[in-house]
Amino acid sequence: MFRLIHLSDPHLGPIPVPRPFDLVGKRFAGYMNWALRRRTSHDMGLLGRIVSDIHDQKPDHVACAGDLINISLPAEFPPAAQFMHRLGAPAHASLVPGNHDAYVASAQPEIERHWGPWMTSDSGRFEGFPFIRLMGPLAIIGLCSGISTWPLLATGRLGKIQRDRLKASLTFLKNQGLARVILIHHPPYRGGATLGRTLTDAAAFEAIIAETGAELILHGHNHRTSIAFLEGPDGLVPVVGAPSASAARGTAGHRAGYHVFDFDMTERGVSIAGHTRGLLENGEIGPIGVLKLKA
């Protein structure tokens, strides 16, 4: 058995004290959003308990679907790298950027500089997206949907180059008998998020899955547990969204939590079972429910 943990959107805080010119443009709105709302809705002590519970599950690998930080200040990136070390060494953890990680255009070099080790392919070097990591019965394919946008927008995009590489990778890996697990921040299907927060080329992504298939697609962004299905050539492909790993309140599907997936090799191929753990109403961290990966 191979155990994979899926978490997303820790939104590490507090935001470092910005310099006045740091808040020019989009960052100003993001900083005000943090100060007025996110500062109290994301609990770092709770996040620490979630990370401890993750380690208690003895995972073989941990996959984070982005939004580690908030407004892409240069000072936010090193602490986020320290957080990734707490999740796991680069050989045992993977990361894809979210829209808050790529909040401004200048963030991309910082992402590669500080977080590159968790986004490498098996070559050991960061070579862009998608990256492919082979481990046990899995092939993790990491995509970057995080882009800088106008203020008040949180859309994502893959772009043609990344989509073409994804299609080629999925086609090749299908013949290797591996469970192809796609990791992306934005929900990669039409209607997956509200207006202004969608993946703008979701229809093109759906077309790739319809042609090549995949075994599991993992995302974040919506701060809630969700399950959808996309058509693949061999049946429906489950698409699972994770809550924010630091959310201090909300319904059971919105409160801080993460997903656990167990992969087993069978005579018919790879079998996948999933369940959710997170913050319970009594304040403890525990099991929340089974993820139904078949429609």
The token pair that represents 12 in the structure block: 């590490």
* Residue 68: per-residue pLDDT: 98
Rounded mean pLDDT, 196-222: 98
In 3-state terms, what secondary structure has residue 138? strand
The token pair that represents 163 in the structure block: 């989509």
* Residue 252: per-residue pLDDT: 81
Q: Crossing angle of helices 44-56/77-87, nearest 10°?
A: 30
> Is residue 75 within 8 Å of 16, Cβ to Cβ?
yes
The token pair that represents 272 in the structure block: 């996948």
Rounded mean pLDDT, 56-71: 97
> Is residue 122 within 8 Å of 140, Cβ to Cβ?
no
Distances from the Cα of 157 to the Cαs of 131, 180, 226, 254, 276, in angstroms?
A: 16, 21, 21, 25, 28
Q: Give the CA count within 13 Å in the CB-facing half-sphere of 159.
A: 10
The amino acid sitting at 112 is E
What does the alpha-carbon distance between residue 295 and residue 293 come to, in Å, rounded to a whole number? 7
> Cα 226 to chain center, whole Å?
13
pLDDT, tens digit (0-9, with 9 covering 90-100), for 139-166: 999 999 999 999 889 999 999 999 999 9
What does the alpha-carbon distance between residue 117 and residue 95 come to, in Å, rounded to a whole number? 9
**In which residue are the tokens 């080329």 written?**
201
Per-residue pLDDT for 64 more than 80? yes
| % of the chain at pLDDT higher than 90 | 82
> Is residue 96 within 8 Å of 183, Cβ to Cβ?
yes
* Residue 19: per-residue pLDDT: 86
Mean pLDDT for the chain overall: 94
DSSP class of residue 18 equals: P
The token pair that represents 111 in the structure block: 């992402």
Distances from the Cα of 79 to the Cαs of 16, 68, 90, 282, in angstroms?
A: 10, 10, 15, 30
> Is residue 97 within 8 Å of 185, Cβ to Cβ?
yes
The CA R_g of the chain, rounded to the nearest whole Å, is 18
The amino acid sitting at 187 is P
> In sequence order, what are the beta bridge partners of 182?
141, 217
pLDDT, tens digit (0-9, with 9 covering 90-100), for 177-196: 899 999 999 999 999 999 99
pLDDT, tens digit (0-9, with 9 covering 90-100), for 95-115: 999 999 999 999 999 999 999
Per-residue pLDDT for 267 more than 80? no
CATH class of the domain at 2-291: alpha beta
Per-residue pLDDT for 274 more than 90? yes
* Residue 124: per-residue pLDDT: 78
What does the alpha-carbon distance between residue 234 and residue 181 come to, in Å, rounded to a whole number? 15
Angle in degrees, CA 168, 89, 243, rounded to 5: 70
* Residue 66: per-residue pLDDT: 96
What is the pTM assigned to this prediction?
A: 0.96
pLDDT, tens digit (0-9, with 9 covering 90-100), for 1-32: 999 999 999 999 999 988 888 888 899 888 88
pLDDT, tens digit (0-9, with 9 covering 90-100), for 133-143: 999 899 999 99
